[in-house]
Amino acid sequence: MERWDSQVAPDGHPPPPHVDSGFVDSTVSDSLVGRVLDGRYRVESRIARGGMATVYRALDVRLDRLVALKVMHQLYAEDDEFVARFIREAKSAARLSHPNVVAVFDQGDDAGHVFLAMEYVQGRTLRDLLRDRGHLPPQEALAILQPVLSALSAAHTAGLIHRDVKPENVLLADDGRVKVADFGLARAAASHTVTSTTTLIGTVAYLAPEQVTRGIADARSDVYAAGVVLFEMLTGKPPYDGDSPISVAYRHAHEDVPAPSSVVPAVPASVDMLVQRATARDPDQRPVDAGAFLADVVRVRRGLPALEADAGAATSLTPRTHQTLVVNLPEAGIMSADRYQPEPVGRGDGSDVVDAEIIDEGYPKRRRRRRRGLIALLIVLLLAAGAGGAGWWYGVGQYTKVPSLGQLTVPEAQAAATKAHLTLVVDPVQQWSTTIPTGEIIDQSKSAGSQVKRGVAVTVTVSKGRHTTKVPALAANTSLDDYTAALKAAGLTIAQPVTTSYSDTVPANGVISVDPAPGTVKDWNAVVTLTVSKGPQPITITDYTGKNANDAQAALTAAGFKVAVTQDYSDSVAEGVVINQMPNNGTGVKGDTITLDVSKGQQLFKVPDVRGKKTKQAEQELDKAGFKWSVLAAPFGPGDVYDQSPEPGTMKPKGATITLYVV
């Protein structure tokens, strides 16, 4: 992946790290060369260096095989968040097992050297091919695009988006295989956030409009990039150029990709339509994923005329009449008039009489010479043809073109192989496929269009069709760990990161829902989305002490709490006001109980009747009842209480003063 911003323009197209194109930067001193990382990978030489990592050719001493070792630059290796994200994406890529995907073997960290061990591919990139050829005919371009889309389709089915589809990441192996590299690495690099709004993550020539305008990418973004790559294969150049990467990105967002035939008129209208549909600016107008685009490509490719190289063995093996043949005849085979000696014509069976008459007439010598001359000419022609045929055989005649066997049935493939003078071998181990129907060819050991010797065996792999499974049932209160195990047993993968949500009914870490629904039939290794409970949502507790009790109860109930009410008399808090609340701060969850202690106001007591009693006795009774008293006495009399205020039986709070009238 390349990272470009408004201040940095791309300079050429370096080869991807997985391909050994024959160039090794041996002039650069590198401290890792010669070291053994993780006790396993002996670094032999540097292959390439990019903005994120340096790639080395290394030997896996444990398995005795060459690998491509991608070692992170120190800037990234010291960023724990980036390394963690990178490892997660590398694990996602490692789960992709597909013949058109560069395999990820291992990941490790040796003394701060964070690395990936990947498949080592001997060959070149699509960029190298376009640099050599300029542009490709439609049939050849679609033949290359088809395995690329097959790889992307497998990734999309697994929930993985490439995000950086470009010719540098399409590898053309020497044995004819086509492989796609760097799955998931663009997403890991994108997590190493750069906050500048002028920064674009990816390779600007292949960015989809939504990546430019909204910074998002999905399967349709990969389809867009694949459509741009197809345009470039057909025309020899990307659809847009500009003074800066930002100007190119702007054109992606605001202009439609032109039809390839506007650059190369020979491009058929059906191929124009493929490019225009894949590069629609509105993602909803594109194929939904690489699998849908692949189906379109296969259909259009079948409707195209075959390449000259595929026209058939009879055409390619016909000798050319304008070629010069040099023939060396043996001395005994040279015929000349001066050395010609006639043979006797008598046969001893009576027919020699006629011959004798002819001799007597003087004709035999001319006829014999004429006959010998014809024989000599015939010999010369036969020898010339033999020499020409031998030259043709050892030059091109012993070779044939491998036909495309993809999506043919075995009998159809057998007929095509026989016609091309090849031996068909059917791999007994069939493979599942989400795109190729049962009984049709998924892959072939020799790439279509490659030149091989006659009689060579071409091994084909046959599709078992779609490998399907069902989303397992989801019981109430099933934990994430238990359901993860059930999904794994069913051959399904959980989308990452897992969605979480508060739930009042499902306990924390329990599975709330699964998408698609349980019982849905899905492809093996399909991705499902889980929603996992975080438990009940926390609710902030508001303190209503000193507030109206009815208002407090209504507010707490509306927040989701249950409310318990107690009542107490209070000399200081008015009736109907909250005296105390438990709890009165912090957080709770829906259904928790909040207790409100509500004031009944002051407690009242009945004023005793002390009329007719001696003053002293009345004072004692009032003291005992909790009341205060005051005495209004007449200047004469025995000191009896003849009246009181307030009247007996009146309800008053303790401490109230009772006035005694004494005579």
The phi and psi torsions of 388 (rounded to 5 degrees) equal: -65, -40
Contact 181, 47 (CB under 8 A): no
Q: What is the pLDDT of residue 79?
A: 82
Q: What is the pLDDT of residue 307?
A: 59
Q: Using one digit for the tens of pLDDT, what is the confidence trace for 383-402?
A: 555 555 544 444 445 789 99
Same domain, 235 and 151: yes
What's the CATH code of the domain at 508?
A: 3.30.10.20
Looking at residue 222, its amino acid is: D
Same domain, 46 and 76: yes
Could you tell me if residue 437 is inside a domain?
A: yes
Same domain, 138 and 252: yes
Q: List the one residue out of 25, 68, 22, 26 whose CA is nearest residue 49.
A: 25
Pairwise CA distance, residues 416 & 423, whole Å: 10
- Two tokens at 144? 């290359």
| 3-class DSSP state of 130 | helix
Q: Number of structural domains, the chain?
A: 6
Listed in sequence order, the DSSP H helices in 393-507 are 410-419, 480-489
Pairwise CA distance, residues 487 & 363, whole Å: 100
Same domain, 174 and 277: yes
Could you tell me if residue 314 is inside a domain?
A: no
**What are the Cα distances from residue 166, in Å, to 118, 169, 181, 540?**
19, 6, 10, 52
Pairwise CA distance, residues 115 & 58, whole Å: 12
Pairwise CA distance, residues 563 & 598, whole Å: 12
Pairwise CA distance, residues 174 & 157, whole Å: 28
Same domain, 117 and 242: yes
Could you tell me if residue 475 is inside a domain?
A: yes
Same domain, 238 and 351: no
Could you tell me if residue 326 is inside a domain?
A: no
pTM above 0.95, yes or no: no
Question: Within 10 Å of residue 560's Cβ, how many Cβ atoms?
Answer: 15
Same domain, 522 and 575: no
- Give CB contacts under 8 A, 24+ apart, made by 407-416: 407/298, 407/436, 407/437, 407/440, 407/441, 408/440, 408/441, 409/439, 409/440, 409/441, 410/439, 410/441, 410/460, 410/462, 413/441, 413/460
**What are the Cα distances from residue 145, in Å, to 190, 202, 301, 322, 376?**
26, 20, 11, 38, 57
| 3-class DSSP state of 391 | helix
**b/e string for 308-335 if b means 16 or more Cβ within 10 A?**
ebbeebeebbeeeeeeeeeeeeeeeeeb
Could you tell me if residue 293 is inside a domain?
A: yes
Domain that holds residue 410: 399-462
Pairwise CA distance, residues 626 & 630, whole Å: 14
Among 584, 599, 614, identify where a domain stops.
Answer: 599
Question: What positions carry a catalytic annotation?
Answer: 164
- For 26, left (φ over 0), alpha (ψ -120 to 50), or beta? alpha
- Two tokens at 222? 């990969």
Pairwise CA distance, residues 438 & 575, whole Å: 83
Same domain, 560 and 438: no
Q: Taking every pair of C-alpha atoms in the chain, what is the biggest distance, in angstroms?
A: 208
Start-to-end Cα distance in the chain? 113
Among 462, 488, 506, identify where a domain stops.
Answer: 462
- Cis check for the bond before 516: say yes or no (omega within 30 of 0): yes
**In the chain, count of helices (H) and strands (E)?**
17, 33
Could you tell me if residue 370 is inside a domain?
A: yes
Contact 487, 494 (CB under 8 A): yes
What's the CATH code of the domain at 68?
A: 1.10.510.10
Q: List the one residue out of 90, 239, 225, 238 whose CA is nearest residue 166.
A: 225
Same domain, 250 and 286: yes
Among 436, 462, 488, identify where a domain stops.
Answer: 462
Could you tell me if residue 552 is inside a domain?
A: yes
Same domain, 589 and 628: no
Q: What residue ranges of the chain have pLDDT lower than 50?
A: 1-29, 186, 188-201, 308-367, 390-396
Same domain, 69 and 122: yes
**b/e string for 253-287 if b means 16 or more Cβ within 10 A?**
eeeebbbbbeebeebbeebbebbbbbbbbebeebb
Pairwise CA distance, residues 382 & 356, whole Å: 33
Same domain, 225 and 296: yes
Could you tell me if residue 324 is inside a domain?
A: no
